[in-house]
Amino acid sequence: MKKLCESVGFIVLVQGGAGLLHEWFDWFRFFSVVRRLTFLGEYTLFVNIVLVVTGIAIMIASDAVKE
């Protein structure tokens, strides 16, 4: 379970980071999932920041999970 939480946290962190790189430098346009969600509109930058913070929090919280 600990490895699963770490993996999910890493994937969320990478998605947020790729989204931020896409917003700032127009890189990783095929890798970011958030930009494909049309209902977010102009809030994609904030959603990507939340994804990075959530990914870090999940990876930190995975240390509390016992195997």
- pLDDT (average), residues 47-66: 92
Q: Comparing 30 with 51, which gets the higher pLDDT?
A: 51
Q: What is the residue whose two structure tokens read 């994937």?
A: 11
Average pLDDT over residues 43-66: 92
Burial 38-61 (b: 16+ CB within 10 A, else e): eeeeeebeebbeebbebbeebbee
Query: pLDDT at residue 43 above 80?
Result: yes
Q: What is the pTM of this model?
A: 0.85
